[in-house]
Structure formats: C-alpha cells, structure tokens
A and B are shown apart, each in its own frame.
Chain A
Amino acid sequence: MPKYDSWKEMPIAGVIDKPATAREYNTGTWRIMRPIVNKDACINCMQCWLYCPDMAIEGKVKEDGKTEMIGFDYNYCKGCGTCAKVCPVNAIEMKPETEFLK
C-alpha cells in the first residue's frame, strides 16, 4: 500500500486501489543489520542478487555483457544476511544498524 499519514485519506478496509503498489512498501524499516559490500573484494558474480529474498541488491549488465553489483536499496533490504552468507568471497559484511545512527 502507498504511504498514508492519516486514517482519513486512506482507502477503507485496506483496499489497494492501484496495482503494483508493493514497490512503494518500505520493508527497510525492519532491518537491524545492514549489509555493506567491499567493492574491492567483490567479483560481481551476482550470487547476492540472485539470493536476496527482496529486490534490495542493485546490479546492472555492462556494455561488455558482464554483470556488475552496484550496492543495496535500503528501502527494501530487511537485513536478513542471506547475501553475506552466499557471497563466495565474503565481500559483504553485516553491521548493526546502531552504528549508522547519528
């Protein structure tokens, strides 16, 4: 469901009146551990992208046809740690969110 600030403006009964609004749902608020990638170690194999249960790993296909891991979309990353576990070169470290609190 899209973001609403007041019960007065949201559709009744939780009806989702626009399709594909799951993209607007921020699951990043659930995260207590934050994945951080060390791009020097990363071999751009995209295992993390493949295994991420959400759509939190950003990647692209370069002009030469090779893949590149760019980073994380923290709007969606729940901090599950799957990416860190599957990374064959241990390029991802999970750090407590508290470290990023200002």
Chain B
Amino acid sequence: MPTKLAITGAAAVAHAMRQINPDVVAAYPITPQTPIVEYFAQFVADGAVDTVMVPVESEHSAMSAVVGSAAAGARTMTATAANGLALMFEIVYIAASMRLPIVMPIVNRALSGPINIHGDHSDAYAVRDAGWIQLFAENSQEAYDMTIIATKLAEREEVLTPAMINLDGFITSHGVEGVEILDDEAVKNFVGLWEPKYPLLDIDNPITHGPLDLFDYYFEHHRQQQEGLKNAYKALPEVFAEYEKISGRKYDFLDLYRMDDAEYVMVVLNSAASTAKYVVDELREKGIKAGLVKPWVFTPFPKKEILSALDGRKAVVVLDRAMSFGKEAPLYSLIKSALYEAKEKPMIGSYVYGLGGRDVTPSMLHIPFEEAIKGELDPNDERYLGLKE
C-alpha cells in the first residue's frame, strides 16, 4: 500500500533515491539542493540503503566521481543546483557522451550573478544541449515520480543517456506537500536490476572508456547520442504507461490542462503551472476558453506533441523563467520553431517571469492572457512579468 507523507520536495526525491537504492551517490551540498543530499546521507547512515556515499569537495569532483562510478558499472546518482551544475559543466557533457545513465535531480536556481540562491530555470537551460534527458516536475509528487521514471528510462539499452529531473528551488524543494510514496518493493521491481553494457570492472572483458576520438569517429558518436535521445522519445510513453500501472499516476510528454476546446493557451514549466492552472480556472469561470500546456519532458523536446496541442488555437503565450541574452527566451524559441509547421498558426507572445525567485502571482499570469485576448501579442517582443519597469 502506498503511503501518504507530508514532506518537502527534497525529502520526496531523497525517498525515491532510497527506494532506487543506487550503488553510488557522490554529491556536494548546494542551496537549495542541500536537503536532498542531507536526507539521503541520513538514509545511508541509518543503513536504509546499500549505497556508497562519496562526499566530495566540489561539484566538479561530484560529477567526475559519478562518471567513474557509472563507467565501472554501478547504478549512480547525484544531485545539484545552479552554480554547482555550472561547476560540473565540463563533465556533464562527458557523462552524456560516455552514455552513462546517471540520474541527477536539479533543484533549479538562478545562475548568478549578482548573487542569488532562489529559483529560476537558467541552470536547466544552460545545459540544455549537453545531451541529457531533461524532465520537469511541477510539485513534490512529480519530482518523486520523475526520479523513478528517469532511472528506468536512462538505463534502457537503446537509450543509455543520463537524466536530470528539474524541480523548482525552495518552492518545490522546501515546501511541504502531501506526497504519495510507493511501496519499496514496487519501486525496486519497477527499476529492476541495472546491468551495465560496458562495465570497467568486468575483468574478463577488458575495455577502454573515454579514448581519443578526434575527427575519426567523434561525429558518429554524437550521431549515436542523437539516436539515444530519439529512442528515449520512443520509449517514454512505454515507461510512463508502466509507471501508471504501479502508481495510478498518468504522465505524458505534455500536461494538458483544460485544453480540449482552449483558444488561449499558456505554456509554462514547473511550479508556476500550478498558479497558471488556477488562473485558467478563473478565466474559464468568465467564459474565456483558456488552457495550459506544461511540458513534463523538455529533452527530448516533444515537438510533434507541441505542434498538435497548439495548431489552430487563437493565441499561445510562452513563459520562460530565464532569459537567453540577445536571443529569444529558450522555451519560447523552441515553441515558436515547433509552430513553424502549424496549419493554422496561432498568435504568439514571449513572457519572462520569476527570475531569481521573483514571486509569481495569479494577477501577473492574467496579463499574458489579457494581451492575447485583446490581440496585442507581438511574436518579436519579449515582455516581462513583475519587472520594476
């Protein structure tokens, strides 16, 4: 029987990690990810897991250690946030290119400066091309579920790609919510035994990891990475369906909220979607056909699903919790490109909100809808919600 606990998102993720029982976790505490590592260290100290915990002196070492451990053949996890992820950056790419199915919760936080420890998505966007699967979680329940789902997906033979689970700093990581925790046995059976394809510790079949590739095969290996992500895209519906069987919770590429007949659609990632759903409900009460699209899967980007969800709508407003300086905001530019093939292109607008943990209120989220309804959207104008103008 699943148990309902009132816990933070960080604790929920740590519980998922406990149930996955990885062989190795190497991590460094960084705000607002720290409680994940703390809760997990407690599980290790209590003997609740068999994990070898490696406390390291920096995130660069954490990612290096998990790459070594995963290459050796161990099921391996770590967790980080913002500047910690930035410090890992070099090895983040290497983990993906070495096709090591490491699972890493990211507690999204602003990439300084000026110094800021609060939530936004600049860290997740900064590594969007690193070759990792990127899942986004609106709340603690989703963060728990996605951690388990990511493990199963990353380790599939045709995928073999590391995965990040993004949850919003403080909002999700530190806020207490009711979270349904599955039975340990159910999670254990779901993720199954990890059988590495090329374990370094298999001394009967000696191999070399991480050789020089140069212009000979580097291109081909990157093409293979692309295939890994294409396969992840194909495998996701299957993994989601299997997870639904043990949890009763249904996931998909996109969380579609009141989208059946929606004319005015907001697209937003993670926790702000909860506020957006509330705003959609308010608009619906006034007879306005509002709807929401919240991508659960960001990489592999579900372009086809986005297109079919948005083609023919009156207007689409895309909210980004980070900027791409000198260019269009990251999610917006992807949505805009997905809509290139739309038969009936909706009006579109780009809104940046909530940087560095700036509060996101319902009245703020009414603005893009109002501008959409009035026909005031400009596809080339980046607008700001809650900015001191």
| B209 near A13: Cβ-Cβ < 8 Å | yes
Per a CB cutoff under 8 Å, which of B98, B209, B210, B223 touches A7?
B223
Q: Mark B201-223, 1 if CB is under 8 A from A, else 0.
A: 00001111111010011011101
| A19 near B206: Cβ-Cβ < 8 Å | yes
> Do A10 and B207 contact each other (CB < 8 Å), given the known contacts A15-B198, A17-B198?
no
Closest CB-CB distance, B63 to chain A, in whole Å? 16
> Once the chains are docked, how many angstroms separate the CA of A1 from the CA of B210?
12
> Do A14 and B213 contact each other (CB < 8 Å), given the known contacts A6-B220, A7-B223, A19-B206?
yes
Per a CB cutoff under 8 Å, which of B206, B211, B216, B224 touches A12?
B224
Whether B75 is near chain A, meaning CB under 8 Å from some CB there, is no
> Once the chains are docked, how many angstroms separate the CA of A6 from the CA of B217?
9
> Once the chains are docked, how many angstroms separate the CA of A12 from the CA of B157?
11
Nearest CB to that of B212 among chain A residues?
A14
> Once the chains are docked, how many angstroms separate the CA of A10 from the CA of B217?
9
| B217 near A1: Cβ-Cβ < 8 Å | yes
Nearest CB to that of B97 among chain A residues?
A13
> Do A12 and B213 contact each other (CB < 8 Å), given the known contacts A7-B223, A17-B198?
no
Chain B contacts for A100, CB-based, 8 A:
none
Whether A53 is near chain B, meaning CB under 8 Å from some CB there, is no
Per a CB cutoff under 8 Å, which of B198, B206, B219, B227 touches A11?
B198
Whether B18 is near chain A, meaning CB under 8 Å from some CB there, is no
Closest CB-CB distance, A99 to chain B, in whole Å? 25
Whether B160 is near chain A, meaning CB under 8 Å from some CB there, is yes
Chain A contacts for B208, CB-based, 8 A:
15-16, 19
| B207 near A7: Cβ-Cβ < 8 Å | no
> Do A4 and B217 contact each other (CB < 8 Å), given the known contacts A14-B211, A15-B209?
yes
Chain A contacts for B109, CB-based, 8 A:
none
| A7 near B224: Cβ-Cβ < 8 Å | yes
| A17 near B217: Cβ-Cβ < 8 Å | no
| B213 near A15: Cβ-Cβ < 8 Å | no
Number of interface residues of B (CB under 8 A): 23
Whether B152 is near chain A, meaning CB under 8 Å from some CB there, is no
| A1 near B211: Cβ-Cβ < 8 Å | yes
> Once the chains are docked, how many angstroms separate the CA of A6 from the CA of B219?
11
Q: Mark B53-96, 1 if CB is under 8 A from A, else 0.
A: 00000000000000000000000000000000000000000000
> Once the chains are docked, how many angstroms separate the CA of A4 from the CA of B216?
10
> Once the chains are docked, how many angstroms separate the CA of A97 from the CA of B289?
72
Nearest CB to that of B221 among chain A residues?
A14
> Once the chains are docked, how many angstroms separate the CA of A4 from the CA of B209?
17
| A10 near B211: Cβ-Cβ < 8 Å | no
Chain A contacts for B223, CB-based, 8 A:
7
Whether B99 is near chain A, meaning CB under 8 Å from some CB there, is yes
Closest CB-CB distance, B150 to chain A, in whole Å? 19
| A15 near B217: Cβ-Cβ < 8 Å | no
In A11-39, which residues have CB < 8 Å from any B CB? 11-17, 19
- 17 A-B pairs, CB-CB below 8 angstroms? A1-B211, A4-B220, A7-B221, A7-B224, A10-B220, A10-B224, A12-B99, A12-B228, A13-B210, A13-B221, A14-B211, A14-B221, A15-B209, A16-B207, A17-B198, A17-B205, A19-B208
Q: Which residues of A contact B (CB under 8 A)?
A: 1, 4, 6-7, 10-17, 19
19 further A-B contacts with Cβ under 8 Å, apart from A1-B211, A12-B228, are A4-B220, A7-B217, A7-B221, A10-B217, A10-B221, A11-B198, A12-B160, A12-B221, A13-B97, A13-B198, A13-B221, A14-B97, A14-B213, A14-B221, A15-B209, A16-B207, A16-B208, A17-B207, A19-B206
